[in-house]
Amino acid sequence: MAQYTIKELEHLSGIKAHTIRIWEQRYNVLCPQRTDTNIRYYSDADLKTLLNISLLNEQGYKISKIAKMSPEQLKLTVQQLAEHGNSTLSHHINSMVTAMIDMDEERFDKSFSTVTLQLGFQEAMMQVVYPFLHKIGILWQTNNISPAHEHFVSNLVRQKLIVAIDGQVLKRKEGSPSYLLYLPEGELHEIALLYMNYLIRSQHQQVIYLGQNLPFEDLKRTYDLLKPEIICSVMTIIPEREYVQEYINRLSATFPAATVYLYGYQVQHDFLIFPKNIHRLSCMTDFMTVLAQIG
């Protein structure tokens, strides 16, 4: 069973720790437990309850009224809000978190499909899926989800992206550059790269998609053969911190005529130096701005 600190509940629910403590003491809405060393912690059930409370509170329900609801009433009220179209984007994000904890594919699919119909695929990814993945990152970093949970949800999002990409019409805009997309050898976190693929194709530009775990020699071989103007990569865990600068320098020296865009956790370190033809993307919005400028 996962164990959450009150600070982790704050990050995941958006409710300040101070407010959570007040609600807990005044209304008894959560039931924290204690470890053998007397440290308070919260369970998966507490997290789900707080996510539902935050949604109702966001919709104008007073905490005093929410506190009088049984767990079943609380869940039912949230579901009714969703069904009547009064739910916020927070509802869909929190619903995805709960679906992931329970490994409930049907619930995840329903939330994803609903928000995609409301916003369109691109906005659904930016406004719901990316904030959801950020919350998953918090759970991962604090060891509150297992690799199985992370694989479960990553594969569901990956499937949605592949279906969306497959549904795009291949029509290259005349005079537009070609993009080569890949992940370094050992890197398997593909969601951001797939989304880049989707965004580029939506602009009717050519993509050479090489995917996960690509040895550098194969990258060079493909580049020499096809000479794409732009190379894009995502570095979440690979190369490791102490080898990132060396890898960046190698990219710059090997592909001096290409423009290279790098995204992901490993390229955000402050100590990194980026040669002239290498550009760091701090967020996916940066990449969307690049695409609009190249247009």
Phi and psi (nearest 5°) for 97? Answer: -60, -45
pLDDT over 90 percentage in the chain: 48
How high is the pLDDT of residue 82?
Answer: 59
Q: Which residue has the higher pLDDT, 220 or 28?
A: 220
Structure confidence at residue 141 as a pLDDT band (50, 70, 90): low
Kindly list the structural domains of the chain, giving each domain's residue range(s) and its CATH number in brackets, ordered by start.
1-83 (1.10.1660.10), 88-167 (1.10.1240.10), 178-294 (3.40.50.280)
Distance of CA 236 to the CA centre of its chain: 12
Q: Is residue 83 predicted with pLDDT exceeding 70?
A: no
Overall size of the chain counted in residues: 295
Q: How big is the CA angle at 77 (ends 122 and 61), to the nearest 5 degrees? A: 90
Cβ atoms of 261 and 229 within 8 Å: the answer is no
Tokens 């979440």 identify what position? 236
Q: DSSP label at 4? A: B
* Closest by CA position to 133, among listed 96, 160, 102: 96
How high is the pLDDT of residue 143?
Answer: 64
Query: What is the overall mean pLDDT for the chain?
Result: 88
Q: Is residue 118 predicted with pLDDT exceeding 90?
A: no
Token pair for residue 286?
């940066």
Q: Identify whether 239 is preceded by a cis peptide bond (ω within 30 of 0).
A: yes
Structure confidence at residue 171 as a pLDDT band (50, 70, 90): confident
How high is the pLDDT of residue 61?
Answer: 85
Q: For residue 118, with 0-12 CB atoms within 10 Å meaning exposed, 13-18 middle and 19 or more buried, which class applies?
A: middle
Q: Is residue 45 predicted with pLDDT exceeding 70?
A: yes
pTM for the whole structure: 0.76
d(CA 177, CA 170) in angstroms, rounded, equals 15
Q: Return the H-helix or E-strand segment holding 34.
A: strand 33-34
Q: Which residue has the higher pLDDT, 227 or 91?
A: 227
Q: Is residue 157 predicted with pLDDT exceeding 80?
A: yes
Structure confidence at residue 246 as a pLDDT band (50, 70, 90): very high
Mean pLDDT of 45-50: 84
Pairing of strands 40-41, 33-34: antiparallel
d(CA 282, CA 6) in angstroms, rounded, equals 29
How high is the pLDDT of residue 142?
Answer: 63
Q: How big is the CA angle at 149 (ends 147 and 152), to the nearest 5 degrees? A: 105
Mean pLDDT of 107-136: 89
